[in-house]
Structure 1
C-alpha cells in the first residue's frame, strides 16, 4: 500500500474510512475491533482508496483559486460565469446569463468580496439543499433531523447516522443540480445504511439508476 493509514478508536458501531485533502487515509473504528480485521478491510478497499486519493489530488491540482477581481471565472450550478466587481454603497450580488456582479463597499478588499460571495453562495445552496433533501427524503422514506452546510476539502457530504445530521459541502454550489441530487440521495441513504456495502449501493441505485453518471459529473469525470 502506497498510502498512510491513521486509525482512531472511538465509541462507534461501524468502521468509517475517510480520505482527507492531503490524501491521508483516516480510519475510525470501534474500540474492540481487532487491528487484523481493520488491516484486512483496508486491503479489500485498497482499489477504492487509491481511486479516491487520485480523485482528490486531481481535483485540487486542477482547481483554480478565485482572485476576486474582474474577469475571474466562477462556477455556479455547473455553469461558468465571469466575475465583475462594482463599487457600491451597499454589499450585494446580482447575476445575469453570463456574469456574477459583486457590489462592494470596499472593492479593494479581497476578504470583503470573498465574504459577500460566500454569503450569497451559502444562501443559494442552503435553499436548494433544503428543498432537495425534503423531496428526496420523502421519496426514500428517510429524513434527517438537521441539515448543516460548511466548507469541506475532502468530502461533498457526511451523515451522522446516530444523530441523523447531514452536513453538505458549501462548494456543491459549483456543481450541476443532477450532481447535487446524487449527493443528497447518497447522504440520505446512510441513515438506513451507515456504510458503503452492497445494500447501500443497491438502495441508491433503486432510487437513482444513473447515479454512476451523476457521480462522474460531480467529480468532473463526465
Structure 2
C-alpha cells in the first residue's frame, strides 16, 4: 500500500514476502498519482496564510470571507453577523487561546452540519456510517474506515461552501459499498451527484 503522509513523504507498507522489484514497479505505475498528491499537499499549505487572531484578520466560514474582531469580555464566546465574526475573550488571552475559542465554535457548527448532511445523503444512497468523527487533518478532507463504517471529516471543511461539503460527505459514504476509487465508485458518486467534478474543484479552490 502506498500513502502520502501530511509532510508529503511517500510511505509504503507491504508484507516482507513481497519482492523489492514489485514495490519499485508499483511506484513507477503510481508515479502520476504520487506527484499529484504531493503537489496537492504543497498547494494546501501555500494557500493557508497564518492567522494572528487579531482585529482585521480574514477568515472563511462556509465559503464566505469574514473579518475577525476581538472584543474584551469576561466570558469567552463567539458571535457572527453578515460581515464579521467576533471573538469575545479576556484581554490577556493569547493567540493560541483565541484560536481554541474559535475552533470550538467552528467544531460545534460543522458537527451539526456534517451530521445532518451525512444522515440526509446517507438515506438517499442507502448507506450510513456507524460513527462520525471530526478532527483537524492536513492532507485530506475525509476518510472512511469501511470495515468499522467510521467516517472522519476534516475540521477545516467549516471553511468551505455547503456544495463542496456535500461532495465530501457523498464521497466518503460511497466508500462504504466501494472501498476504492475504481470506475464503480465514481459511477456511484455521479449517480447521486452529477456535478461532483465542479464541487470538487470548488473544494480545492480550483473553480
Give the TM-score, by structure 1 length.
Answer: 0.87
Partner deviation per Cα, 1:107-136 (whole Å, 9 max, x = no partner): 541122111100000000000000000011
DSSP-derived class of the 1:81 partner = strand
CA pair 140-20 structure 1, distance change in 2 beyond 3 A: same
Q: Which residue number in structure 1 is paired with residue 106 of structure 2?
A: 121
Counterpart selection for 2:184 from 196, 199, 202 = 199
Number of equivalences: 207
Q: Which residue number in structure 1 is paired with residue 196 of structure 2?
A: 211
CA pair 197-38 structure 1, distance change in 2 beyond 3 A: farther
1:165 corresponds to 2:150: yes
1:132 corresponds to 2:127: no
Q: Which residue number in structure 2 is paired with residue 11 of structure 1?
A: none
Q: Which residue number in structure 2 is paired with residue 26 of structure 1?
A: 11
Q: Which residue number in structure 1 is paired with residue 85 of structure 2?
A: 100
Deviation at residue 40 of structure 1 after TM alignment = 3.9
Counterpart selection for 1:88 from 73, 88, 96 = 73
Distance 2:107 2:16 in 1: 37
Instruction: Give the aligned CA root-mean-square deviation in angstroms.
Output: 1.7
CA pair 27-166 structure 1, distance change in 2 beyond 3 A: farther
Distance 1:185 1:157 in 2: 10
Deviation at residue 155 of structure 1 after TM alignment = 0.8
Distance 2:167 2:13 in 1: 25
Distance 2:82 2:175 in 1: 37
1:183 corresponds to 2:142: no
Deviation at residue 198 of structure 1 after TM alignment = 1.4
Counterpart selection for 1:111 from 96, 110, 114 = 96
Deviation at residue 106 of structure 1 after TM alignment = 4.0
Partner deviation per Cα, 1:172-204 (whole Å, 9 max, x = no partner): 000111111111111111111111111111111
Partner deviation per Cα, 1:10-36 (whole Å, 9 max, x = no partner): xxxxx4x43222211234456766655
Query: Are 1:88 and 1:105, in contact at CA under 8 Å, matched by a contact in 2?
Result: yes
**Gaps spanning 5+ residues in structure 1: where?**
1-14
Q: Which residue number in structure 2 is paired with residue 148 of structure 1?
A: 133
DSSP-derived class of the 2:181 partner = coil
DSSP-derived class of the 1:67 partner = coil
